[in-house]
Structure 1
Amino acid sequence: MNIQAYIESGILEEYVLGTVSPQEKQEVECMSHIYPEIKEELLRTESALEEYALKHQTAPPASLKESLFAKMNFDAALDAEETPIKDLTSDYVETISGTTETEDTRSEDPKVIDNVFDRVETKEITPLWAKITVAAAILLAVFAGYSASQMSKLKGTNEELATELSGMKSEMSTLKRDFDYNQFLTSLYRSPEVKTVHLAGLPKSPQSSASAFWNQKTNEVMLDVQNLPAAPAGKQYQLWSIVDGKPVDIGMLENQFSGKVLRMKNTKPGSVAFAITLEKEGGVPSPTMEEMYVMGKVS
């Protein structure tokens, strides 16, 4: 598996942002357990997202707390009104100090007790804890709305961050490619076994230039194109070496040759020069001299 290609696919950023499907999520978690490089990149991406979110987080407005508490009413609970219950037994029995019960007294009309069946009015009181519960619910609802707004902003920020990370990854990939390219060229220039041949532009294309690196021990040839016009449709550049006065085909150049060191065919011992001509796609057995763009002698 090409681990680098998997990392550069962007699926790790999508996993961190939570935009992958359940199947892709399971795949990323599985791959991160199998390959330490993927796990390391995943942790690095999560850290970068967290750092970005902390850097760009927005604090609630200072006036929010005051406006919330201004809407709340924490009045103390009203004291329950106590309605004394009359001792009815004292109303039904009349005690006359110093008298004895007689027939006359028994025959007297019984004393009528006033207000026995009067309804006692009561007032419903809302407990303090109920008021606090309502206030807390309002506060929670307000903060939930604020949090939803902040999450929406954070999601937009995460999308921007994903775009920035993608751009950074592309730049890093380009820098790494350029570094590898320059490092490889340096090793070719410094190798005592490699002969460097500069190919200068001819009247066909004076601004063109290239460099051939000939390993005289193995006869391997590498080519670095500094400047050549893009090949027209149906055409392709071909590299030649001159051995014993005869041109030897040592390969076709890729159409996308800029920024690359091309590995060509091996030449023969005794090469005295190298040249590039523009031929039909796929190459020809003998060079077209009128289409020769660059040439360089082996010194």
Structure 2
Amino acid sequence: MNIQAYIESGILEEYVLGTVSPQEKQEVECMSHIYPEIKEELLRTESALEEYALKHQTAPPASLKESLFSRMNFDSPDAQKPDEEFAIEESNVAKNISNDIRNGDFVEIPAPLESADAKVISDAFVREEVKEVTPFWAKLAIAASILLTLFAGWSAMQVADMRKTNEAMSAEMQNMKKDAIYAEQVAAMYRDPQFKLVKLAGLPKSPESNVSAFWNKQTNEVMLDIQNLPPAPAGKQYQLWSIVDGAPAPVDLGMLDEQFEKKLLKMKNTKNGSVAFAITLEKKGGNPTPTMEEMYVMGKVV
């Protein structure tokens, strides 16, 4: 199995983000137990996601609490009025009198107490509208419900925003992974004693260009690392050449990929006795011989 291709497929990022199917989830967990490289990459991806989430987390707005409590009216229940107590007592007296009458007893109906400053109530038979008092616990429950609803709405907005950034974050993680792989490959080429480093400097056609060629003198394998090279115009493509001592013409080592940035390019093998390498801009697909006027970089083997 190609472990590196499996890691670069993006399924580990989807597993961490929770977007894989149950079958893919089981596959990732199984592969991570079998291959230590996959398990290590999975842990690194989870760590990167956690770091990203902590870095971009958003706290609830400070005005949310004040906005909620400003809408609440915690009125304390009205105390029982004296008139209501008197009505209850009068009702009890009437009930006792009614019972005595049923039993055949002579009952003297007590006269209402009058005071010197007693006033005549003109609207005694008018029914007074009673205001219903909402219990405090009910108001508190309503407030809690409103608070929970608003918080749920705010949380849903945060989740929606997070989902919108998932694709961007996944793409960013893929780019970071590719950059890391590229850096490791180039570092390995520099450390490998079998490869000879040849620096290709920019010529008057493109002074700012800079390319590194790695030549294995035992196998004649050639690898290219493009540090700086202008994008090829439409219909054009870069071509690598090697100048071999005693050869009648430069040797074609193949065409560069159109997307050559941050890639370690494997070219055609050169021949023994190579003394220099050069890159020219040719028509798409290449030429059998280099166009000397379109030579961008060149480097001698030292």
TM surpasses 0.5 = yes
- 1:178-207 Cα deviation digits (max 9, x unpaired): 333222222212221111111122232222
Distance 2:206 2:102 in 1: 130
Confirm whether residue 33 of structure 1 aligns to residue 26 of structure 2: yes
Contact kept in structure 2, 1:12 and 1:28, CA below 8 Å: no
- Contact 1:193/1:217 (CA < 8 Å) preserved in 2? yes
Superposition map of 1:279-294 within 5 A: 279-294=282-297
Relative to structure 1, the CA distance from residue 207 to residue 32 in structure 2 (aligned partners, 3 Å threshold; closer, same or farther) is: same
CA deviation digits over 1:132-190, x for unaligned, max 9? Answer: 7x654443333222222222222222333445555555444434333332222222122
Bigger Cα displacement from structure 2, 255-264 vs 141-150 = 141-150
Aligned counterpart, 2:272: 269
Counterpart in the other structure of 2:229: 228
Q: Find the residue that maps to 1:276 and give its secondary structure.
A: strand
Q: How many residues align?
A: 255
Larger CA deviation: 288-297 vs 69-78: 69-78
Instruction: Determine whether 1:5 maps to 2:5.
Output: no
Given residue 31 of structure 1, which amino acid in structure 2 is its aligned partner?
E
- 1:144 aligned residue: 145
Is the contact between residue 273 and residue 295 of structure 1 (CA under 8 Å) also seen in structure 2? yes
Matched-pair contact (CA < 8 Å) for 1:250–1:264 = yes
CA contact 2:74–2:139 (8 Å) conserved in 1? no
Aligned partners of 2:241 and 2:170: how far apart in 1? Answer: 39
Q: Deviation digits for residues 186-243 of structure 1, max 9, x if unmatched?
A: 2212221111111122232222221110011111110011222211111100111122
CA deviations 1:46-91 (Å, max 9, x no partner) are 89769976x7246863796797572352757977643214234652
User: SS in structure 1 opposite 2:259?
Assistant: coil
1:87 partner letter:
D
Task: Give the counterpart of 1:258 among 246, 256, 261.
Answer: 261
Listed as ranges, the matches of 1:71-150 within 5 Å are 71-73=75-77, 81-82=91-92, 83-84=95-96, 85-88=98-101, 90-91=103-104, 135-150=136-151
Aligned position for 1:105:
none
The alignment partner of 2:193 has SS state of coil
2:300 — aligned with what? 297
| 2:77 partner SS | coil
1:61 to 2:65 alignment: yes
Judged with a 3 Å threshold, the aligned counterparts in structure 2 of structure 1 residues 293 and 174 are, in CA distance, closer, same or farther, namely same
1:167–1:139 Cα change, 3 Å: same
Matched with 1:70 is 74
**Structure 1 residues 138, 48: CA separation in 2 closer, same or farther (over 3 Å shift)?**
farther
| 8 Å contact kept, 1:49–1:158 | no
Q: Check the 8 A contact 1:276/1:295 in 2, yes or no.
A: yes
On the 8 A contact 2:74/2:136 being kept in 1, the answer is: no
Q: Deviations over 1:17-47 (max 9, x none)?
A: xxxxxxx7xx534422331269866798689
TM, length-normalised to structure 2? 0.67
Amino acid at match of 1:251: G
Q: Give me the whole-angstrom Cα distance separating, in 2, the residues matched to 1:32 and 1:225.
A: 38
- 1:71-112 Cα distance to aligned partner (Å, 9 max, x none): 3527579776432142346527x9xxxxxxxxxxxxxxxxxx
Return 57-66 or 258-267, whichever deviates more: 57-66
Q: Quick one: structure 1 residues 48 and 288, their matched pair in 2 at CA, closer, same or farther if it must change by over 3 Å?
A: closer
SS of the counterpart of 2:253? Answer: strand
After superposition, the C-alpha distances for 1:225-275 in whole angstroms (9 at most, x for unaligned) are 122221111110011112233311111001111221111111122212111
The answer to whether the 8 A contact 1:201-1:209 is kept is: yes
SS at 1:250 equivalent: strand
Contact 1:197 1:297 in 2 (8 A): yes
User: Does the 8 Å contact 2:200/2:277 carry over to 1?
Assistant: yes
**Alignment correspondent of 2:213:** 212
For residues 182 and 277 of structure 1, what CA distance do their matches in structure 2 show? 26
- Structure 2 CA distance for partners of 1:33 and 1:71, relative to 1, 3 Å: farther
- The CA RMSD measured in Å over matched residues stands at 4.1
Question: CA shift at 1:6, angstroms?
Answer: 2.9
